[in-house]
Amino acid sequence: MKRLTHLLSALSLIILSLNTHAQTGFTLQNQNLDNPDNEPAPVHPVPYEQQIQWQELEFYAFFHYGMNTYTGKEWGFGDEAETIFAPTEAPDPAQWLKVAKAAGMRGGIAVVKHHDGFCLWSTATTTHNVTRSGNIHGQNTNIPRDFARAARKLDMKYGFYISPWDRNSPLYGTPEYVSQVFLRQCAELAAYGTDQFEMWFDGANGGDGYYGGANETRSIDRETYYDIPNLRDSVHKVCPQCILWGMGGEARWIGNEAGWAGETNWSNENRGFAPERNGMYGTEDGWFWLPGESDAKITNKGWFYHEGESALPVERLFQMYLETVGRNATLLLNIPPDKTGKIPEYTADTLKQLGKLLKERFRHDLALKAGITATGTRASGANRDYLPSNLNDGDKDTYWATYDEQTSAVITLVWDKPQTVRYVALMEYIRKGQRIRKFHIEYSPDGSTWLPAAPGVECTTVGYKRIIPLNGSTAQSYGEGYSAKAIRITIDDSKACPLIHTISVY
């Protein structure tokens, strides 16, 4: 369609030029028919479509459930009898996802095999699976099947965590484990739905374990052992939208499990393990588009359910959101089901409150009713413009841009009456690469005097999304706010002309 439009506009220019020629005897010079839309050139690396859709989920859940739920361990050794897995009620992934949805999450990832090797579906690759579990609830369980079904019903995205390290398998450490167990398990999971958004491959790989009774330590070469290029191609053939996280090389671990990303956070990074991995911050000149995902726990005792656990305070979770989603990362928040196979009340309540806070604090985008101007705005193309009004039109596909050589600019938002403001959110048009390196924000109580906002905040990168608390504090960002008649955002430095698709003010 786009090509057709380009062709039509090129044709009309030719006809126009022929007419002009006939009328004046001159041929029009310097028509840049190669780029009729005056499109800014991309700055590489750029994301592919799946990575953009993945990032647009922003906030989704992790569900650690399995053998450890019943042993109280975080890492099972792999020698646990299958009968220990005995849910006291039928596990209910639909309930898990409803709880996540109430918090404003758009999807979830279920652990279906942890390091202990116990599979939560009836796999053909090992007998160490739910069909041999301790009661009827366990035997009838099939988490990938039920999780995928529930997600589709709730209009949420879903994916699976499958641990490459398998402390139960006698084959672990040999090539047969990869070809006959691990890759087959991934294929079985891919078959639960072609619409999966992420497969999660943990970085803990190798060490001591049961290994079919060998009770020894086994190590592998993480770079080569799992045949990643083959895995990536095979999964993509079946699940074209699926991002392979971690060693899959399509999204990166943010580098801590505490729910924060660097204020400076590039989606550019180099693939592979240390030393070039720079999880929390990315690498400005990295070769790959490898955006950060931050995994964090909602409870205080571990990834799995533990007796006596409690959920973190809701304001702490809000802070996590600002420090991840608000810093160009996604937030994968872990919610552990308990022995009933359901999310306990205290966690569900906390998530409901979090959902309420997020709605209240980010519902009314004041930018939508602001007048907006900018310096250095790029000239329009044949079908596209780059006007500042694209910044507050609620459309992620239109964007504001400057001229190629112009890497700084000032954007001003003005209201008829002063507004109470607390946050500014910026979103780059990342389809053409991440660009902004430095910016600053000011506010004006009266429309003529300007005061600096966001004291102490490192206003460096933006990326997919950056949310700036104007009082400078992610821990206590929701104070009284500031009364502002206008807000000014200055882009001080950018790798190439900045492209921003949305500015929001709350």
Nearer to ligand FUL, 11 or 204 (CB): 204
Contact present, 129 and 172 (Cβ < 8 Å): no
CB of 165 to ligand FUL, least distance (A): 8
- Which residues partner with 209 through β-bridges? 216
CB of 300 to ligand FUL, least distance (A): 15
CB of 258 to ligand FUL, least distance (A): 12
Pairing state between β 243-246 and 288-289: unpaired
Stretch that binds ligand FUL, among 175-183, 188-196, 201-209, 489-497 (CB under 6 A): 201-209
CB of 430 to ligand FUL, least distance (A): 26
**Cα–Cα distance measured from residue 262 to residue 462, given in angstroms and rounded to the nearest whole number:** 11
Stretch that binds ligand FUL, among 91-99, 200-208, 209-217, 361-369 (CB under 6 A): 200-208
Label residue 284 exposed, middle or buried (CB < 10 Å: 0-12, 13-18, 19+).
middle
CB of 163 to ligand FUL, least distance (A): 7
Nearer to ligand FUL, 303 or 482 (CB): 303
**Cα–Cα distance measured from residue 102 to residue 97, given in angstroms and rounded to the nearest whole number:** 9
Report the length, in residues, of the chain: 506
Among 201, 161, 148, CA closest to 68: 161
The full DSSP string for 434-460 is --EEEEEEEEESSSSS-EE-STT----
Nearer to ligand FUL, 222 or 356 (CB): 222
| 9, 17, 52, 74: residue in contact with ligand FUL (rule CB under 6 A) | 74
Nearer to ligand FUL, 96 or 439 (CB): 96
Kind plus residue range of the DSSP H or E element containing 71:
helix 67-71
Q: Quick one: tokens of 65? A: 């459930």
Contact present, 498 and 407 (Cβ < 8 Å): yes
**Cα–Cα distance measured from residue 398 to residue 395, given in angstroms and rounded to the nearest whole number:** 6
Residues 89-148 that bind ligand FUL (CB under 6 A): none
Stretch that binds ligand FUL, among 82-90, 196-204, 225-233, 343-351 (CB under 6 A): 196-204
| 202, 263, 309, 338: residue in contact with ligand FUL (rule CB under 6 A) | 202
Nearer to ligand FUL, 165 or 399 (CB): 165
**Cα–Cα distance measured from residue 289 to residue 51, given in angstroms and rounded to the nearest whole number:** 9
**Cα–Cα distance measured from residue 274 to residue 272, given in angstroms and rounded to the nearest whole number:** 7
Interface with ligand FUL includes 295 (CB under 6 A)? Answer: yes
CB of 338 to ligand FUL, least distance (A): 17
Interface with ligand FUL (CB under 6 A), residue total 7
Q: Could you say which DSSP state residue 312 is in?
A: P
Contact present, 298 and 333 (Cβ < 8 Å): yes
CB of 462 to ligand FUL, least distance (A): 28
Interface with ligand FUL includes 203 (CB under 6 A)? Answer: yes
CB of 203 to ligand FUL, least distance (A): 6
Nearer to ligand FUL, 65 or 75 (CB): 75
Nearer to ligand FUL, 203 or 479 (CB): 203
Stretch that binds ligand FUL, among 76-84, 197-205, 470-478, 483-491 (CB under 6 A): 197-205
**Cα–Cα distance measured from residue 147 to residue 149, given in angstroms and rounded to the nearest whole number:** 5
Interface with ligand FUL includes 442 (CB under 6 A)? Answer: no
The full DSSP string for 1-70 is -HHHHHHHHHHHHHHHHHHHHHHHS-PPP---TT-TT-PPPP-SS---HHHHHHHHH-EEEEE--SHHHH
Kind plus residue range of the DSSP H or E element containing 331:
strand 329-334
CB of 83 to ligand FUL, least distance (A): 23
Query: Contact letters (x/-) for ligand FUL, 75-94, by CB under 6 A?
Result: x-------------------
Nearer to ligand FUL, 40 or 164 (CB): 164
| 7, 8, 204, 475: residue in contact with ligand FUL (rule CB under 6 A) | 204
Contact present, 209 and 77 (Cβ < 8 Å): yes
Nearer to ligand FUL, 121 or 429 (CB): 121
| 210, 303, 423, 439: residue in contact with ligand FUL (rule CB under 6 A) | 303
CB of 75 to ligand FUL, least distance (A): 6
Residue 273, phi then psi, degrees to nearest 5: -95, -175
Nearer to ligand FUL, 74 or 385 (CB): 74
Which residue number places its CB atom closest to ligand FUL?
A: 204
- Judged by the rule CB under 6 A, the positions of this chain that interact with ligand FUL are 74-75, 202-204, 295, 303
